[in-house]
Structure 1
Amino acid sequence: MVDYRNFEQFLHSRMKRRNLIIGAGALSGLAIANQFSPQRAIATSRFSNYPFTLGVASGEPYPTSVVIWTRLAPEPLDGGGMPPVNVPIRWEVATDLDMRRIVSRGTVLATPELAHSVRVVVEGLQSDTWYWYRFLVGQDASPIGRTRTAPLANSYLNKFNFALVSCQHYEQGYYTAYKYLAKEDLSLVVHVGDYIYEGGITEDRPRKHNGSEIFTLEDYRNRHALYKTDTNLQAAHAAFPWIVTWDDHEVENNYANDISQVDTEPDQDRVIFLQRRAVAYQAYYEHMPLRPFSRPVGPDMQLYRRLSFGNLATFHVLDTRQYRTDQPCDDGTKERCPENLDPNATITGKAQENWLFDGLNSSQSKWNVLAQQVPIAQRDMTPGEGGTYSMDKWDGYVASRDRLMAFLGQRQPSNPVSLAGDVHSHWAMNLKANFDNPKSATVGSEFVCSSITSGGDGADTNPTVEAYLPDNPHIKFFNNQRGYVRCALTPTTWKTDYLVLSNVTTPFGTISKRASFVVEDGRPEIQQA
């Protein structure tokens, strides 16, 4: 059995002491964009600072309930700055922004064990309805957030708008995309991973991390707190409910299940890596508006789940990190190898794969959305004999992908659409029964969002990618700028808009629509709008 109690002592005995450096602009203000603005204390606070420095968030919308979240952190980059005692927090939910028509209220304990974070599953709400919420402790009131419940199961829904986001490296740019996203007409935001990055400080970047690479529970808490001090990110959380899933950087770059990919660190040992995974999962849960069933037990956390929105859409939220076998061919971008084609290799694990197939097979929704981390579609980067592929994506797990493509082709669930991130660029791709045969059936669609900041400003094109696109005819669009994806669903059409930022290395980037594509009900081929 792994002894998690000694993990921090083990690592701190081998790591240099952290020099906490507050990134430029990290605490530049607590104002939230649009109408979402914090209400400061009206009397002397019992805390050293305003306790709601990390804002509020909501998520996991069901027809009659939703999760609301906050964390008390008067000193957010120094462990939170809270005494090691339980603190009661009052919460209120209303049908108006002014919080006058209260429909639900209560008190919840913020405990040191969860870094004084709280999540409330607010029950008894009306379906498909906007609500506003806030938290209060002593004389301090949190920002007011807005959230929305899901429509009733199988109820008719004639439209549904949401945004897809991923990859928000704090050091590599400003979260200007979230400023624009917070003003959108949406019912939901879907984040498919790399909410934080685990690395240390890199010089000559627009902003700086708060210390060297993170390993301990306190490290991960402080890193999540740094990211959540960004006011544009707070605005997006306060504007809409979110569905979240992780990728690799919430723990460590390119990790696979219980395997570290960095052989220069002590966590290359499986026992040590599982200890690191345990504290990373703990901090992730503490900072996300997830339901209580996702609370981790040691290094294990239940993250794959399903959420439905009337008869229009079901989101099958996947976890392609926790259960995968090791990346084949020593990872990286490689030619195919025997491990790449290993029928026992899996990116989802058998239990999750069966769960996905069962859900798709029984779904009554018009659109079946696979909200997951990495691109499913093949991206052959040097076409020809053998080809080269990114082994950290589904390209590295051909047997898993073949089983999924075969299932989609044979069982034909209604309108399967994959959503992914990770690659810091926009893509629109058809999912093929056989990617090596362009004439094979198209069995689904895939839209991949670029990063919020990861990779810096980027550019409209990338010559290397442009060179191999003609040999990948299922790839319909590529763009290498930062931004997000906006999706509008109706019973007959799925429309995807690719939004791009002029730059992210300054806080003054402007946004524009780069391209739009549609998928028609019953016709998975992606078409330009």
Structure 2
Amino acid sequence: MRLSRRQLLRVGMAGSAAVLVGTSAVSSERLPAPRWRGDDPFGLGVASGDPTEDGVVLWTRLAPDPLAPGGRGGMGWDPVTVEYEVAHDENFRYPVTRGTAVATRELAHSVHPEIHGLEPSRWYFYRFRAGTAISPVGRTRTAPASGQPTARMRFAYASCQSWSSGFYTAYEHMSDEDLDVVVHLGDYIYERGWRRGREGMSMGVDRDEAVDLPGYRLRYAQYKAEQPLRDAHAAFPWIVTMDDHEVDNNWAAESPGLGIDIYRISALFRRRRAAAFQAFYEHQPLRLAQRPSGPGMRLHRRYRFGDLAQITMLDTRQYRDRQACGGNVTANCTDRLDTDRTILGAQQRDWLLDGFTGSPARWQIIGNQVAMGETDNDPGSDAVLSSDSWDGYVADRNAVLGGAADRGVRNLVVITGDRHQNIVADLRRDYADPESPVVASEFSGTSITTGGDGADMNDTGRRLLAANPDMKFFNAQRGYVRVELDHQLWRNDFRVVPYIRRPGAPVHTRASFVVQDQIPNVAEA
């Protein structure tokens, strides 16, 4: 008998359980709520994120029927009390802290308890309880204390995980890695209607584009139904941001992107953006500081890891000017050179540059959504550039790279998503000057699934390598990137799988590149 994806999800959830807690804005003392009575509510898993030296934020969402029509996950209208527990060991014999929170319908019965008072640079285990249902156990880690001598750090970063394009095999392998944290650079979901890309694909979710809160909630439920993704969330703390597909392809601030025409009306797009932001918050391990207010959400933030690294997460969608020249890959688009054009907004740009000053970190890492380095798409005489990337916002790129150099940033490395390709490039202070010095390195990671099985090399790669002398490597397979750094060396491993349209692919390191302390030029390992 063949089961649909939705039936398989229900069968799988019957054998696992999880717990939920409410946001820190609502306590069970202020809002008494009944304990959960019903089917296992933890089919979307557990997660932790935004680690600091003394704590993390935990996450889960109660959803006994995640794909139920309407996006409410099979929950009713009443609040539910959820308990959480943090311990030193996975058997919870040595508890550290316990608490309760309330899951309410306003946030799709999701909870985001913020845990404080933990020890720096230490692993912890956590779980939730709702009634008699107990969640899967998650594992998380605090950051080293700011300025504390830190010998080594390992993390992975990923992006672009279209559900319909293939299986999340890469996450199966990521969960087996020895990592301190995972960084997700955007396109966690795709708003557009899905198309066939997997063997035996069948899913009880509307194929239409997501444009409202129920639609976005169903998209996240669809993606989080995947066991490999849930396992990766449970294995490490995550730091997340969004790019465009969490809302609308190529959206920019108040301007809609390439989606359904009716949502090009500004008022309707603001409503759509508010719905997308809320669903994003409801399904990610984000702190109360990131809870959206209507169509606005604070996503740019920074995290310190001892004296070794500072990760600064950018928001390149919410404050940018609309793309020049229609947002296309365009030759001779002079509007992109306008000194008033911004991809960050003045406030975020100043915040980014100010964060470089006085930081004790040996490595400054920028978590970035779209390509920062100049990327000519044609080896001919005319530069053919995408105005959706930093190539469309030259003044901001020069301000960031030049500002970092002027402030004496010791090592600046940019990690980037969006491109569905593994790319390595040196970053120059000013691309208008051929003699401009290299001041930073950029490592673009490929997609988890978007684009299908991919290829080691293709015509796009040959064209890009021929047109861009600062580009050192190209690969278009699927996977993620693993980074190991110490005080002397950054090592970047491109971990790829040969196929994703069917499950079971092995993983291997396609190439490794290094950056040495105080030498911004990238070299192959």
TM tier relative to shorter chain: over 0.9
Partner of residue 71, structure 1: 61
Contact 1:27 1:229 in 2 (8 A): no
Q: Cα gap change, 1:46/1:358 in structure 2, threshold over 3 Å: closer, same or farther?
A: closer
Separation (CA, whole Å) in 2 of partners of 1:133 and 1:470: 50
Separation (CA, whole Å) in 1 of partners of 2:335 and 2:109: 45
Please say if 1:225 is aligned against 2:214: no
Partner of residue 178, structure 1: 171
Pairwise mapping of residues 500-519 of structure 1 onto structure 2 (< 5 A)?
500-519=496-515
- Following TM superposition, by how much is the alpha carbon of 1:403 offset from its aligned partner in structure 2, in angstroms? 1.5
Please say if 1:473 is aligned against 2:469: yes
- Following TM superposition, by how much is the alpha carbon of 1:257 offset from its aligned partner in structure 2, in angstroms? 0.6
SS, match of residue 487 in structure 1: strand
- Following TM superposition, by how much is the alpha carbon of 1:296 offset from its aligned partner in structure 2, in angstroms? 0.4
Separation (CA, whole Å) in 1 of partners of 2:259 and 2:188: 24
Separation (CA, whole Å) in 2 of partners of 1:251 and 1:286: 14
Partner of residue 289, structure 1: 285
Partner of residue 375, structure 2: 379
Please say if 1:187 is aligned against 2:159: no
- Following TM superposition, by how much is the alpha carbon of 1:50 offset from its aligned partner in structure 2, in angstroms? 1.2
Separation (CA, whole Å) in 2 of partners of 1:336 and 1:311: 44
Separation (CA, whole Å) in 2 of partners of 1:331 and 1:492: 40
SS, match of residue 467 in structure 1: helix
Please say if 1:29 is aligned against 2:12: yes
Q: What is the TM-score normalised by the length of structure 1?
A: 0.91
- Following TM superposition, by how much is the alpha carbon of 1:215 offset from its aligned partner in structure 2, in angstroms? 1.1
- Following TM superposition, by how much is the alpha carbon of 1:397 offset from its aligned partner in structure 2, in angstroms? 1.1
Separation (CA, whole Å) in 1 of partners of 2:46 and 2:311: 23
What are structure 1's unaligned runs of at least 5 residues?
A: 1-20, 32-36
Partner of residue 163, structure 1: 156
Q: Cα gap change, 1:459/1:484 in structure 2, threshold over 3 Å: closer, same or farther?
A: same
**Candidates 125, 129, 137, aligned match of 1:132:** 125
Give deviations 1:65-84, integer Å, cap 9, x for gaps.
11110000001011211111
Separation (CA, whole Å) in 1 of partners of 2:194 and 2:377: 31
SS, match of residue 183 in structure 1: coil
Separation (CA, whole Å) in 1 of partners of 2:202 and 2:422: 26
- Following TM superposition, by how much is the alpha carbon of 1:434 offset from its aligned partner in structure 2, in angstroms? 3.0
Q: Which moved more, 1:355-364 or 1:231-240?
A: 355-364
Partner of residue 419, structure 1: 415
State the one-letter code of the partner of 1:444: A
Pairwise mapping of residues 51-70 of structure 1 onto structure 2 (< 5 A)?
51-70=41-60
**Candidates 95, 108, 111, aligned match of 2:104:** 111
Separation (CA, whole Å) in 2 of partners of 1:250 and 1:311: 33
**Candidates 387, 390, 396, aligned match of 1:391:** 387
Partner of residue 446, structure 2: 450
Contact 2:17 2:42 in 1 (8 A): no
Contact 2:213 2:275 in 1 (8 A): yes
Contact 2:379 2:466 in 1 (8 A): no
Give deviations 1:330-369, integer Å, cap 9, x for gaps.
1121113232111111111110000000001232210000
Pairwise mapping of residues 194-209 of structure 1 onto structure 2 (< 5 A)?
194-203=187-196, 205-206=198-199, 207=201
Give deviations 1:129-167, integer Å, cap 9, x for gaps.
000000001110000000000111100000000001000
Please say if 1:353 is aligned against 2:343: no
Partner of residue 26, structure 2: none
SS, match of residue 478 in structure 1: strand
Q: Which ranges of 4 or more aligned residues in structure 1 deviate by more than 6 Å?
A: none
- Following TM superposition, by how much is the alpha carbon of 1:313 offset from its aligned partner in structure 2, in angstroms? 0.4
Q: Cα gap change, 1:263/1:491 in structure 2, threshold over 3 Å: closer, same or farther?
A: closer
Separation (CA, whole Å) in 2 of partners of 1:526 and 1:246: 27
- Following TM superposition, by how much is the alpha carbon of 1:508 offset from its aligned partner in structure 2, in angstroms? 1.3
Give deviations 1:106-151, integer Å, cap 9, x for gaps.
1100011110000111111011000000000111000000000011
Q: Which moved more, 1:125-134 or 1:213-222?
A: 213-222
Contact 1:166 1:452 in 2 (8 A): yes
Identity %: 44
Q: Which moved more, 1:215-224 or 1:198-207?
A: 198-207
Q: Cα gap change, 1:372/1:204 in structure 2, threshold over 3 Å: closer, same or farther?
A: closer
State the one-letter code of the partner of 2:81: P
Separation (CA, whole Å) in 1 of partners of 2:331 and 2:382: 6
Contact 2:140 2:236 in 1 (8 A): yes
Partner of residue 461, structure 1: 457
State the one-letter code of the partner of 1:305: R
Separation (CA, whole Å) in 2 of partners of 1:38 and 1:362: 47
Please say if 1:527 is aligned against 2:510: no
SS, match of residue 382 in structure 1: coil
Please say if 1:150 is aligned against 2:143: yes
**Candidates 403, 408, 421, aligned match of 1:407:** 403
Partner of residue 366, structure 1: 362
Contact 2:154 2:484 in 1 (8 A): yes
- Following TM superposition, by how much is the alpha carbon of 1:383 offset from its aligned partner in structure 2, in angstroms? 3.4
Contact 2:373 2:426 in 1 (8 A): yes
Please say if 1:256 is aligned against 2:246: no
- Following TM superposition, by how much is the alpha carbon of 1:407 offset from its aligned partner in structure 2, in angstroms? 1.3
Please say if 1:271 is aligned against 2:267: yes
Contact 2:494 2:511 in 1 (8 A): yes
**Candidates 210, 213, 220, aligned match of 2:209:** 213
**Candidates 46, 49, 61, aligned match of 2:39:** 49
Contact 1:251 1:276 in 2 (8 A): yes
Give deviations 1:249-296, integer Å, cap 9, x for gaps.
000101001111237521101111000000100000011101101100
Give deviations 1:372-391, integer Å, cap 9, x for gaps.
11110111111344310111
Aligned residue pairs total 501
Give the alignment's Cα RMSD to 1 decimal: 1.8
Give deviations 1:173-198, integer Å, cap 9, x for gaps.
00000000001000000000000000
Separation (CA, whole Å) in 2 of partners of 1:202 and 1:282: 25
Contact 1:26 1:226 in 2 (8 A): no
SS, match of residue 61 in structure 1: strand
SS, match of residue 171 in structure 1: helix
Separation (CA, whole Å) in 1 of partners of 2:245 and 2:17: 33
Q: Which moved more, 1:456-465 or 1:491-500?
A: 456-465
Q: Cα gap change, 1:39/1:262 in structure 2, threshold over 3 Å: closer, same or farther?
A: closer
Contact 2:36 2:80 in 1 (8 A): no
SS, match of residue 189 in structure 2: coil
Separation (CA, whole Å) in 2 of partners of 1:180 and 1:92: 28
